[in-house]
Structure 1
Amino acid sequence: MKISVQKINELRKITRIGIMDCKNALVHSNGNIDKAIRFLRKKGEKVAINRSLYQMKDGAVIASVNFNYCIGTIIGISCETDFLSKNSEFLEFLSELSKQSLLFNNKIDFLCSSYNEYGSIQEMIVNKMGVVGEKLELKIFEKVDSPFIMNYTHNTNKIATLVGFSDKINNISVAKDIAMHIAAMNPVAINEKEIPNSLMNEETEIIEDQVQKENKSKSNSIKKRIIQGRINKFILENTLLNQKFIKDSKITVQEYLNKYDKNLKINIFKRVSI
């Protein structure tokens, strides 16, 4: 099977693995990116789970919350060049749309909504295309409702997060710390119960393959203990409340929250990266 350079580069961007390894994985997987990633991980390659990467060649994302911190959105606009994605005028335009997005529940309603002299948001985007000379498209629209929401946008505008809490938080920095932690550590779920079964089954299969290849001479009982140990490690490293807190690795995120309020819960989070 012939694998295109574009497909190899796409896999390299996700995995950070060498060209030939990516090509071989894609050949083995008939060009399927997800299967190629699983193939590489089963071989023991250190590939992070790609949980929230949107397929935008270039562009930017931004997270916003309303004035009383109970509604949040993440929107992302694609463009044609990395140069434009970093342009201050483009980012100001994205910020302007982001504030407006808080009034709507979904992407279609948002794009069709009336806005100033350009008519709709979609018409506003089309008008901006004439100004910047590149194709622009609203690719991402995520919305969160919760008693208290905090937003965070990384300074590159390539990662944005929202995190919803069970109650109001007076200390804004606590909420901001959690939103920043999510951006940095990319958890799959809030806790073990919320890990999707499909992901847990896939990870278990990958771990079993790795252990079988690495420990051929060991007994089955030892292999089972190693497998369970790695599964437990996966859960601890990939669930938000069990992760080591980014600002203090001696405590978990749950322990950090407990210092502020033991009754405070995290209801939901969104993380978008491009």
Structure 2
Amino acid sequence: MAEITASMVKELREKTDAPMMECKKALTEAAGDMEKAEEVLRVKLGSKASKAASRVAAEGVVSIHISADGKVGSMLEINSETDFVAKNDDFLKLAADCAALIATKNPADVAALSALALNDGTVESARAALVGKIGENMSLRRFVRVVAQGRLALYIHGGSKIGVLVDVVGGDEALAKDIAMHIAASKPKSLDATGVPAELLETERRIAIEKARESGKPEAMLEKIAEGTVQKYLRDVTLLGQIFVKAEDGKQTIEQLLKAKGASVASFTLYIVGEGIEKKVTDFAAEVAAQAAAASGK
């Protein structure tokens, strides 16, 4: 049997918010496998037991640029160590300059973007100079460039912490803006079911079966229950399946809205600053001890 350490329990607790004893039991049942333990907790405690995938732990901003003719758009995430720096005017200007360069120069990746000319040097030299001036590290994390098939719309929310760039074919400007706002609010993972990984659906199906079994449902009903759960999951995580946030009847889906307007979504990208990045958790007592040791020359 794998040894379940206090640090493992603490890690699972931080990932899931589940009670410590439940975390220990789950790790024991999963023989120390962290991912399996999360699944065990989801079966026992529900979907709220897993928050790791959407944890936001880094600072920074999302910057969006759309060309004057509306044909090309770009969106960039640039990270900083603190929210204070993320509000700095020079930092925000660097983000905006980089977003514009992405739209006009079409770099292949972050390395290519960093090598592009900016002011009297390059993007990288401008970044390095700003790091030296502010005294805090910052990095260009990711970007997307879109050539419009229809109409580009953007939405920035929460002090530039959430950004959306969407390409809507048909409809009008108001519709495109509404779709962008909806994406920021509802955070779909993909446009439709074809964009959801099969392994993710299989995990949802497996968890649904185990939850139904533990609740005493007959074996003959488990597959039907699981299928219903998977379909609900798809409605929740796909843009077309979601209920439009401004639906007057509270029932109209994005797919129904688009059909009524004679429109479609060609593509969308949603960035949430720091998504998937976990900050280093500092042991305050250990940090103080280390600083004291350094001060005493030990």
Provide the TM-score with structure 1 as the length reference. Answer: 0.81
1:3 match: 7
AA matched with 1:126: A
1:20 counterpart letter in structure 2: M
Q: Paired residue for 1:209?
A: 210
Is the CA contact (8 Å cut-off) linking 1:163 and 1:269 kept in structure 2? yes
- Answer yes or no: is 1:124 the counterpart of 2:126: yes
In 2, distance between residues paired with 1:6 and 1:152?
37
Change (3 A) 1:107 1:10: farther
Give the AA of the match of 1:3.
S
Give a deviation string over 1:75-108, Cα, whole Å, max 9, x none.
1122111222234443343223222221224222
**Which of residues 138, 141, 145 in structure 2 aligns to 1:139?**
141
Superposed counterparts of 1:153-164, under 5 Å: 153-164=156-167
Residue 179 and residue 5 in structure 1: after superposition, are their counterparts in 2 closer, same or farther (change >3 A)?
farther
Question: 1:179 offset after TM fit, Å?
Answer: 1.2
2:100 and 2:49 map into 1 onto residues whose CA distance is 32
Q: Identify if the C-alpha distance between structure 1 residues 109 and 186 changes in structure 2 by more than 3 Å, giving closer, same or farther.
A: same
Cα deviation for residue 133 of structure 1 reads: 1.7
Once residues 261 and 48 of structure 2 are traced to their aligned partners in structure 1, the CA distance between those partners, rounded to angstroms, is 34
Distance 2:87 2:14 in 1: 21
Tell me if structure 1 keeps the 8 A contact 2:13–2:23: no
The answer to whether the 8 Å contact 2:23/2:41 transfers is no
Supply the RMSD in Å over aligned alpha carbons. Answer: 3.0
Unaligned regions of 5+ residues in structure 2, if any?
A: 275-298
Does the CA-based 8 Å contact 2:170-2:264 persist in structure 1?
Answer: no
Which one-letter code corresponds to 1:155 in the other structure? G
Change beyond 3 A, Cα 1:210–1:8: closer
For the residues of structure 2 that align with 1:205 and 1:141, how far apart are their CA atoms? 34
**How far apart in 1 are the matches of 2:22 and 2:85?**
29
* Number of residue-to-residue matches in the alignment: 262
Q: Summarize the Cα distance change of 1:225–1:8 in structure 2 as closer, same or farther, 3 Å threshold.
A: closer
> CA–CA distance in 2 between the matches of 1:67 and 1:52?
36
Give 1 or 2 for the bigger CA radius of gyration.
2
Residue 80 of structure 2 corresponds to residue 76 of structure 1: no
Q: For the residues of structure 1 that align with 2:160 and 2:9, how far apart are their CA atoms?
A: 27
TM-score of the pair, normalised by structure 2: 0.75
Contact 1:56 1:78 in 2 (8 A): no
Is contact 2:206–2:226 with CA below 8 Å preserved after alignment? no
Matched residues, percent identical?
26
Q: CA deviation at 1:18?
A: 4.6
Compare 121-130 and 96-105 and name the one that shifted more: 96-105
| Secondary structure, counterpart of 1:245 in structure 2 | coil
Tell me, yes or no, if structure 1 residue 195 matches structure 2 residue 180: no
Distance 2:159 2:207 in 1: 33
- Cα separation, 2, equivalents of 1:9 and 1:142: 34
CA distance in 2, matches of 1:252, 1:41: 28
Secondary structure class of the residue paired with 1:59: strand
Looking at structure 2, the residues matched to 259 and 130 of structure 1 have their Cα atoms a distance apart, in angstroms, of 54
The 5 Å alignment of 1:1-274 reads: 1-3=5-7, 7=11, 11=15, 15=16, 17-18=17-18, 20=20, 24=24, 30=32, 32=34, 34-35=35-36, 37-47=38-48, 53=54, 57-103=58-104, 104-105=106-107, 106-117=109-120, 119-148=121-150, 149-165=152-168, 167=169, 171-214=172-215, 216=216, 218-248=217-247, 249-261=250-262, 264-273=263-272, 274=274
Could you say what secondary structure the match of 2:145 adopts? Answer: strand
In 1: Cα distance, 2:268 partner to 2:230 partner = 23
Is 2:41–2:49's contact at 8 Å kept on the other side of the alignment?
A: no
CA separation of 1:56 and 1:213: change in aligned 2, threshold 3 A: same
